Amino acid sequence: MASPYCRKEKSLGRLCTNFFKLYNREGVDTIGLDAAALQLGVERRRIYDIVNILEGIGVLQKKAKNQYTWKGFGAIPEALKVLKEQGLKEEFGTYVANVSNQKKYALPSDSKTEWQDKCSESDKSEHKRQKSLGLLTQNFVKLFLCSDMELISLDEAALALLWDGHDEKALRTKSRRLYDIANVFSSMKLIEKVCSEIGKSAYRWIDMESCGDGLSIAPDAKNTKRRAFGTEITNTLVKRCNTSSTDWKLIEKVNMGIHSKDNSKAVQEEVLTEQHQNYGTKDFVFGPFTPNVTKSEARENKNGGQNQDWQNLFRDYRPQYCNQAVNDLFHHYSEAWNSWYVEAKDKQQIEPGS
DNA sequence: CACTCCCGCCACGGT
DNA sequence: ACCGTGGCGGGAGTG
């Protein structure tokens, strides 16, 4: 039912986690934005945020209108490598260093635009790209990969990447995007938030190779707040102020094919083919194969026995959660989905016309 | 109060 | 016109 508003539940980081739970598995190739929004229970606008950030690090690639190709975590290392090369060429490291040393005004605006406007410019779409979340994401990554700074605060990142030399208010506005990116990255365990005693928080890049696949749930000895991917994949659809007004009716309609917009058919098909869960009630559950695996039997990853070479994992292109329990869960779902799907298909043939 | 960042308005470009 | 996309910043939530 209408749960009370909880900001954390609605965070981009959480959404991102859910996004992965939904798509980071075998057999996923194309992602439709409508379906994603429906299944994750968020507005379309938020999907754009996630997608743009993920595209920046190679996890997704735009395929067509409304559609993205899922490249998966396996694509990250290569993307990072490219970004690092670019960044080194553009001398990102020195920029951050300057910023952190001299605080403001360290970055001559012309030299900044030098690398921000690397490619052609002048044309409008390029200008737009310069301000895009995707590019900011990539530049943010470069800061970490190309400087030898252990910790980078968002302030510093903002100064390095967004400071135009005078407009402080604009800087604050643009900085909001860095928070977005940082949250997504945190949920992916690409970076980690670290608080100094002064209360200042900064981020540390997590070297993926040094900790298993970097995307799994860490053994977590320290009090680093690493997030675990749970089993709930919808963001609660409770608005900040006004309660209710969830779209479950719409979801049901789409699922049942009685939505009246012309693109409903497409959406419906998308949902039908993509969704490996089933829903129809307000409280999202995993449909006909509700997990009976709350505590999965496989739990032998104690000593990080799987921390072998994470790149090997990717080599056979089966980037999965290193966490066995989550893996098993997905395996369970896809199995269940398969059987359910076949069953449903048969039924449809028997009673056509829905 | 400062920091964080959700939310949705609305501009813009493509169809 | 309409729709997909996504920049942007107001202001709510949090510590």
Q: From the CA of A13 to the C1' of B5: give the distance in Å.
A: 11
List phi, psi (to 5°) of A193.
Answer: -80, 135
Delimit the domains of chain A by residue range.
Answer: 75-210
pLDDT exceeds cutoff 60 at A325:
no
Least confident of A45-54, A138-147, A277-286: A277-286
pLDDT exceeds cutoff 90 at A166:
no
A6 Cβ within 7 A of any nucleic strand C atom: yes
Other beta carbons less than 10 A from residue A83's beta carbon: 23
pLDDT exceeds cutoff 60 at A82:
yes
pLDDT exceeds cutoff 90 at A16:
yes
Residue-level pLDDT at A98: 66
Q: Is A66 helix (H, G, I), strand (E, B) or coil?
A: coil
Residue A22 vs residue A237, higher pLDDT: A22
Answer whether A47's CB lies under 8 Å from A241's CB: no
A7 Cβ within 7 A of any nucleic strand C atom: yes
Average per-residue pLDDT in chain A?
A: 67
Residue nearest B8 (alpha carbon to C1'): A45
Residue A312 vs residue A61, higher pLDDT: A61
| Protein contacts of strand B with Cβ less than 7 Å away | A 5, 7, 10-13, 42-43, 45-46, 65, 124-125, 128, 154, 172, 176, 179-180, 182-183, 201, 239-240
Q: Quick one: average pLDDT of A320-329?
A: 40
pLDDT exceeds cutoff 80 at A60:
yes
- pLDDT tens column, A230-265: 456 676 656 665 433 334 444 444 443 333 334 444
- Nucleotide with minimal C1' distance from the CA of A263 is C3
Among A234, A250, A278, A277, CA closest to A3 = A234
Q: From the CA of A45 to the C1' of C8: give the distance in Å.
A: 13
List phi, psi (to 5°) of A152.
Answer: -130, 125
Rounded distance between C-alpha atoms, residue A23 and residue A100, angstroms: 38
Among A113, A119, A121, A80, CA closest to A95 = A113
Token pair for A247: 């779209």
Say what percent of chain A tops pLDDT 70: 48
